[in-house]
Amino acid sequence: MIRYNFQLTNYRSVLKEFARLFNLEVKKKKVVIPPHMGHGYVYASNISKDISYIVINSVMKHDLMLVRKKTAAFGLSLSFNQIAISDFVKLSGKHDSITDTSSYLNNIYLSSTNTELELTYSAGSDIKIVVVLFSPTLIKKSVKKAILLNLQLYTDQGLQNMYREPITFAYRSLLDDIFNNDTDSPISNLVLHNRILVLTEKFLAAFLERDSKRDSVKSRKLKEKDAQALMDVEEILSKATLDKFPSIAVLSKTARMSSTKLKTKFKSVYGMKLYEYYNRNRLEKAKDLLQSGKYSVKEVGMDIGFSNLSNFAKAFKKEFGILPNEMLKS
């Protein structure tokens, strides 16, 4: 196993320490993974003194464990993960742990730097990750108190947020540009800066839009019991085994609130309607099943609850930009 412990202060420093520890060379902000360790590269740069990022595009011959030590102050780490899993990915936080044995991890994860995070990727996994770091200094200086509080409340949920933000087609094209970028090109740094800033803007704009809808008026702020009720509903809708949308009556009973209140509050927190959220999750499941190569389009469509394959194809293309049979072929 390759294990690397690091303090997250700046990603260029993290890369330099990684290179020093494993006797590698940083050249043009990049470390090329040597054949005895695997193949690919790790690239790190600064956008400003308070914003840095790292791009990992590699396959390792051994399990890779990355242990992020907590910082004293509250900073933010925004991670875009596209990982073809060979065996497992294990994620451990302060209070919880997740072992993912699916074929593909495809998510956006926002976390606070003042909590420890341990990430283990099994040997042979195709790791494509972009992580943007916003320093505690920047957060303290630039983020309004009300927004900061909601960021803290969100990140305090730890690994519960791991599958809350899937990478949709809007993000995927930008990530393709990043991972297909020639890092040796003279304009490489400009391309990476641009795509990463756009990625960040898209995510944070969506987060702040939900935040403003949720908290623009004090009376609309969630009570603790309502927040827990919504998390219970969200857990039901995101279950991998769920192949049929539960009735609104069942969900309202679970949340112990009226159907109108549930619909309104769920959309204000999660940014989409109940059925829309359920549909996104089952389409993500469909994508994983297709990418495994073990199932036909018909089998996958039926498995996630589509009796009409034409409707399945339309919904899939709307979410991912390609038809199910095209993904199966690829």
Give residue limits of the domains in the chain.
2-215, 222-329
**pLDDT of 263 higher than 50:** yes
Instruction: Look up the pTM and report it.
Output: 0.65
Second-level CATH architecture of 2-215? Sandwich (2.60)
pLDDT for 214 equals 52
Confidence label for 134 from pLDDT (cuts 50, 70 and 90): very high
CATH of 222-329, picked from 1.25.40.390, 3.40.640.10, 1.10.340.30, 1.10.10.60, is: 1.10.10.60
What distance in Å separates the CA atoms of residue 245 and residue 278, rounded to the nearest whole number?
7
Is the distance from CB of 303 to CB of 243 less than 8 angstroms? Answer: yes
Q: What pLDDT, on a 0 to 100 scale, did the predictor assign at position 45?
A: 92
Q: What is the pLDDT of residue 18?
A: 94
pLDDT at residue 60 above 90?
Answer: yes
Res. 289: pLDDT tops 70: yes
Amino acid 27: pLDDT: 93
Mean pLDDT, residues 5-20 taken together = 91
The reply to whether 2-215 and 222-329 are identical in fold is no
Mean pLDDT within 44-65:
94
Query: What's the pLDDT band for 330 if we cut at 50, 70, 90?
Result: low
The answer, yes or no, to whether residue 46 has pLDDT greater than 60, is yes
Supply the pLDDT for residue 216: 46
By percentage, how much of the chain surpasses pLDDT 70? 93
292: nearest Cα among 84, 120, 129:
84
Of the pLDDT bands very low, low, confident and very high (cuts 50, 70, 90), residue 217 is: very low
For the chain, the average pLDDT equals 86
Whether residue 162 has pLDDT greater than 80: yes
Looking at residues 156-162, what average pLDDT do you find? 85
pLDDT confidence of residue 34: 95
Long-range CB contact pairs, 53-56, < 8 A, 24+: 53/11, 53/130, 53/131, 53/132, 53/133, 53/192, 53/196, 54/11, 54/14, 54/15, 54/129, 54/130, 54/131, 54/133, 55/129, 55/130, 55/178, 55/179, 55/192, 56/127, 56/128, 56/129, 56/130, 56/131
